[in-house]
Structure 1
Amino acid sequence: MVRLTQKQKQFYKENGYILLKNVLSGEELDQISLEYDELFLRKSQEKMESSWVGSDADDRKSDSAHTVKGIHNLQYHSALFGQFLYNKNLLDALEDVMGTRNIVLHHTKAHFKPPEKGAAYPMHQDYHYFPHKNDSMVAAFLHLDAANPGNGGLFVYPGSHKLGPLEDFGAKEGEYHYVDQSKFPLEKATPVVAERGDIVIFSYLLVHGSSPNRSSNRRRMLLAQLADAQDVPVGEQPTRPGQGWVLRGINVDRDASISKRFERTG
């Protein structure tokens, strides 16, 4: 993969997302895929760190078998996931999209949609989970399996990032965040059809969600959420493991805070 073209940069600017191919080599992808399966196998022996019951009426029933299994902080489970965060091709693409060389990690996670019972995700903005002052936050979403509307693939509303933060309807009901589903129904969203190994980079202001997995195949993904090193959280937010790792460039604000601590204790 080479650096993004001006046309690709413009597409991201207008649409709030971009689908990229050949970011990882075949060997890298195979290694990550194997490590992912082994991690979920280990975690299957205990309660998953997170799960989601989807937005369809049937999926909200307490006896619903529809779910999405999740594991967070992947870089704390295997060094291989940490290596993914420092992949040069990925960081080149992120630098081109974000317009900064100073890139820091916010968090990582993996979602697994099992065959025939993988739940849908309602349309939402990631913004509501961790708002930042300059809205520099993006996600890098790696497909470990081909994805389409039939197996729980990603759906987006192109250009919706330009609307800014939308009303959070999910906050009225519980811990999950989502926008008005009548204004942003899944049926009118644009499907992101991806091949195994494709990476989607998208703004945390982009309205996005996913369909249920009704196929006989699993749908595996992992993602990293990243920000400009000079961007700062809005309001009180929990600090996530690994948050603030400098993946490229420098963090001058962190340099200053460390110097002040040294002056007080030294």
Structure 2
Amino acid sequence: MECCREIWPLFGSKGQAAHQDFEYIHHEPNTMIAVSIAMEKNDEENGYLGVIPGSHKLGPLPHGKVKNILEHADWTMETEGVDLTAEIPVVLEKGDILFFHSLLVHSSTLNKTKDRFRRSYVCHYIRHDSNITLRKDLKRKIDLY
């Protein structure tokens, strides 16, 4: 039974459906930027980050229920009104850093490996004069200076 617990977080871990971070953290004016730091290699096998180049220029898009629950966690929301086939993989080596706009449509995929994690550290920055709406848990502001 021990080995099953070790394998569970790896093989079969679902990704997050294509979305814009703005959908989860509404704020005005929109100043959020996301940072993803690869703690190990993230590739097509262990659940890469996929992006749709230029999709941030489309503005906030509607989001709905996840369509592929075999690939994506059912708690996530999925972007509607954009061509998801335009998504390209972003392969990150351990230590690589990716910065992206809060409106960039992006997703992650199912981990197909039996011996590799896809750990990454993700952080979001919102300018101090932006007001966060809907999420009371994010209303506290922390000065960085």
TM-score band w.r.t. shorter chain: 0.7 to 0.9
What is the aligned counterpart of 1:208 among 106, 119, 144? 106
Unaligned 5+ runs, structure 1 = 1-43, 45-65, 67-113, 249-266
- 2:77 equivalent to 1:177: yes
Unaligned 5+ runs, structure 2 = 67-73
Paired with 1:201 and 1:123, the residues of 2 have a C-alpha distance of 17
* Identity in percent: 29
Give 3-state SS (helix, strand or coil) of 2:123's partner. Answer: strand
Paired with 1:188 and 1:162, the residues of 2 have a C-alpha distance of 14
Match of 1:245 in 2: 142
Paired with 1:192 and 1:215, the residues of 2 have a C-alpha distance of 17
1:188: Cα distance to partner?
3.4
- 2:116 equivalent to 1:221: no
1:219: Cα distance to partner?
1.0
Q: For 1:21-36, list aligned pairs within 5 A.
A: none
Paired with 1:212 and 1:240, the residues of 2 have a C-alpha distance of 29
1:194: Cα distance to partner?
0.7
Paired with 1:124 and 1:229, the residues of 2 have a C-alpha distance of 24
Asked whether the equivalents of residues 38 and 120 of structure 2 are also in contact (C-alpha less than 8 Å), the reply is yes
Give the partner amino acid of 2:78: Y
Q: For 1:1-266, list aligned pairs within 5 A.
A: 114-170=9-65, 176-180=76-80, 183-185=82-84, 187-216=85-114, 217-234=116-133, 236-240=134-138, 243-248=140-145
Q: Which structure has more helix as a fraction of its residues?
A: 1
Does 1 or 2 have the higher relative contact order (CA < 8 Å, sep 6+)? 2
The two structures have a TM-score, normalised by structure 1, of: 0.45
Match of 1:50 in 2: none
* CA shift digits 1:70-116 (9 cap, x unpaired): xxxxxxxxxxxxxxxxxxxxxxxxxxxxxxxxxxxxxxxxxxxx322
Give the partner amino acid of 1:120: G
Give the partner amino acid of 2:15: A
Larger Rg, first or second structure (1 or 2): 1
Asked whether the equivalents of residues 146 and 219 of structure 1 are also in contact (C-alpha less than 8 Å), the reply is yes
Paired with 1:183 and 1:165, the residues of 2 have a C-alpha distance of 11
Moved over 3 A (4+): none
Asked whether the equivalents of residues 169 and 178 of structure 1 are also in contact (C-alpha less than 8 Å), the reply is yes
Paired with 2:137 and 2:59, the residues of 1 have a C-alpha distance of 24
Give 3-state SS (helix, strand or coil) of 1:122's partner. Answer: coil
Paired with 2:17 and 2:121, the residues of 1 have a C-alpha distance of 18
Please tell me the root mean square deviation across aligned C-alpha atoms, in Å. 2.6
The two structures have a TM-score, normalised by structure 2, of: 0.79
Asked whether the equivalents of residues 140 and 224 of structure 1 are also in contact (C-alpha less than 8 Å), the reply is yes
